[in-house]
Structure 1
Amino acid sequence: METRWLEDFLVLAETGSFTRSAELRHLTQPAFSRRIKALENWLGADLIDRTTWPTRLTPAGELLQEKARLLVGELSSTRSLLRGLQQADAATLTLAVPHTLSFGFVPRWLADEQATLGEVAWRLLAHNVHDAVIALTEGNADLLLCYHHPRHPVELPDSRYHGLRLGSETLQPFCRAEHGQALWQLPGSDGAPLPFLAYGPNAYFRRMVELIIERAPQPCLLQQRFETDMAEGLKAMVLEGHGVAFLPQSAVQRELAAGQLAAAGGEAWSLPMEIRVYRDARRELPQLDALWQGLAARYPAV
């Protein structure tokens, strides 16, 4: 059982709406419903009366609501107490970031911003995009680095979270190069579909790739050969010549310069995205405040 399931349930009990609760928890409604169902399965009892509308709690749900408030409150208090004991960590800031940004962007950004960031000790939490956002909203991270695109934004309320635009990234198809030429070029053909290396269904880049293909100037003919959530995993497969994958340009600069990779499609097959950083405005840490003030002087607000 995960404590976040109890937090989800308490939000649902408060709002009486799966849709509104999912928004407040920064989840899709299907994902939120699955977590409520997982809690019910773990408890062995129905918490929601699904025979009525609007949403109502069962007697078991009403009992759990009372107990869960106490339990979550105690856990939160205990966490705050333990954090207060960790004096050695007082100068450490925690950065939640998607895996892809952790490999390429973060090391360069920290190096470029050393004068602005000062002598900061960092703890890096590398997650998928969803869990990185949850780390910020649940207070387990001081900053969130993430991608942003208008069609698939990370939605954080402006009243609570402040954001800055740090730069941009472009997602583009690449494949192995031989004798300076790409082995394949999009869009492929009926008789020769391109071997395609795809992102898994839980990957943010999968949505971005679907958007590229949706906007493409002509139908894309692909035959999927491999799937993973990790861009670095796809890059390794591309380097071995297994097929075409959409990769962030920042992740392949060395391989392009060395002639190991080549673009498998031009600008019509690429997609620009923003790179953003967010903080919780209610989080009061002198070192975080000083750092944010320095960044805000250099980068535009979202």
Structure 2
Amino acid sequence: MELRHLRYFVSVAEAGSFTQAAVRLHTVQPSLSRQIKDLETYLGVTLFERSTRQMSLTPAGLVFLDEARLVLSQADRAVARARQTARVQAGSLALGFLFGVEMELLVRVMKALNSDLNSVTLTMHNMSSPELIKALHNREIDAAFVRPSPDCEGLNLKSLHHERLAAAVPADHPFASLGAVTAQELALQHFITVAHQHAPILRELVDGYFETAQVSLASSYEAENLMMALSLISSMGGVTLLPEYAQRLYPAGVVSVPLSGQSPTIELALAYHPDNRTPALEAFLQVF
């Protein structure tokens, strides 16, 4: 039995389907089914009750799921701690950035590194805020620029600034020539939302903005990330709400229009694990 067997088992158990789990694991269903069958043979127990309509865990499978999750969590922690130790010895710093935020902050980061940390090797990671927060908890990176959320509990946060939200619209859209646009006007358009699992704080702000204005969206499309949202604006003429920093990423043909009245704001913070006391991180926090 190998760790991959445990990961496959947990994925199938959580997805409730071999087909869905295979998609998540980027494999094919027959191969995944064979791996689970090999695991059951090794254990000498049946983990899943299978039928043509549904699949469920057996009592043995439920017990094994709890233990498998624990083993995988400990294995991930061991990997993270080993990597962190290697970073300390190598004098390196692993920083995480929200997509696009590095364009705003990289100059400041490099200035901090060049002042007192010119011997430190910088590694950068681009992920969504939930992914960055998870990586910080797992000690896979040293610090990250995130959108503060309840998932940040247990992390140290240094607030950097708040940004207003603005409408992103096609350059040839009638809104592009306006000085400001209202929630009522936006709600009548093909509105593009960003998936909650990838940008929960942004999504909650946008939903709250329309709820406060007491308007419902006429139609909406969900984008997985910022770049997909911008692509949908360009291709289908939709509109969306994004933080001000995103304007640096706008392709030709997409422009920013302020919101009428008081715009919602979104916070950006530098987060790090309080137990991470590597010299490189300590020095970085003193100069950033």
Specify the TM-score bucket, using the shorter chain as the normaliser: 0.5 to 0.7
Count of aligned residue pairs for this structure pair: 246
Aligned to 2:152: 156
Mapping 1:41-120, distance limit 5 Å: 45=47, 58-59=59-60, 62=63, 73=74, 76-77=77-78, 80=81, 90-102=90-102, 104-111=103-110, 113-114=112-113, 118-119=117-118, 120=120
Distance in 2, Cα, partners of 1:275 & 1:94 = 18
- When residues 131 and 117 of structure 1 are mapped into structure 2, their CA distance, relative to the original with a 3 A threshold, is farther
1:277 matched to 2:270: yes
Structure 1 length-normalised TM: 0.62
Q: Deviations over 1:57-92 (max 9, x none)?
A: 9555556766776676566556655765x5797222
Q: Is the 8 A contact 2:93 2:142 kept in 1?
A: yes
Distance in 1, Cα, partners of 2:116 & 2:12 = 38
Distance in 1, Cα, partners of 2:157 & 2:151 = 11
Q: Is the 8 A contact 1:163 1:276 kept in 2?
A: yes
Aligned to 1:121: 121
Q: Is the 8 A contact 1:186 1:265 kept in 2?
A: yes
Give the secondary structure class of the aligned counterpart of 1:99. Answer: coil
- When residues 35 and 2 of structure 1 are mapped into structure 2, their CA distance, relative to the original with a 3 A threshold, is farther
Where structure 2 has 5 or more consecutive residues not aligned to the other structure, the ranges are 19-35, 40-45, 49-57
Give the secondary structure class of the aligned counterpart of 1:288. Answer: helix
Give the secondary structure class of the aligned counterpart of 1:252. Answer: helix
Match for residue 208 of structure 1 among 192, 205, 208: 205
Match for residue 166 of structure 2 among 165, 169, 172: 172
Q: Is the 8 A contact 1:174 1:265 kept in 2?
A: no
Q: Is the 8 A contact 2:160 2:270 kept in 1?
A: yes
Aligned to 1:22: none
Distance in 2, Cα, partners of 1:262 & 1:87 = 41
Aligned to 1:37: 14
1:222 matched to 2:218: yes
Give the secondary structure class of the aligned counterpart of 2:277. Answer: coil
1:141 matched to 2:134: no
Distance in 1, Cα, partners of 2:219 & 2:68 = 52
Distance in 2, Cα, partners of 1:39 & 1:81 = 33
Q: Is the 8 A contact 2:93 2:281 kept in 1?
A: yes
Q: Is the 8 A contact 1:239 1:261 kept in 2?
A: no
Report the AA paired with residue 130 of structure 1: P
Measured after TM superposition, the shift of residue 233 of structure 1 is 2.9
Q: Is the 8 A contact 1:92 1:121 kept in 2?
A: yes
Give the secondary structure class of the aligned counterpart of 1:266. Answer: coil
Distance in 2, Cα, partners of 1:235 & 1:108 = 24
Structure that is richer in helix per residue: 2
Distance in 2, Cα, partners of 1:82 & 1:184 = 49
Q: Is the 8 A contact 2:100 2:249 kept in 1?
A: no
Distance in 1, Cα, partners of 2:76 & 2:96 = 22
Measured after TM superposition, the shift of residue 161 of structure 1 is 2.5
Where structure 1 has 5 or more consecutive residues not aligned to the other structure, the ranges are 10-33, 47-56, 296-302
Percent of aligned positions that are identical: 16
Distance in 2, Cα, partners of 1:133 & 1:117 = 27
- When residues 88 and 76 of structure 1 are mapped into structure 2, their CA distance, relative to the original with a 3 A threshold, is closer
Q: Is the 8 A contact 1:94 1:142 kept in 2?
A: yes
Q: Is the 8 A contact 2:88 2:279 kept in 1?
A: no
1:193 matched to 2:219: no
Q: Is the 8 A contact 2:195 2:223 kept in 1?
A: yes
Q: Is the 8 A contact 2:81 2:139 kept in 1?
A: no
Q: Is the 8 A contact 1:188 1:194 kept in 2?
A: no
Q: Is the 8 A contact 1:176 1:241 kept in 2?
A: no
Measured after TM superposition, the shift of residue 285 of structure 1 is 1.0
RMSD: 4.4
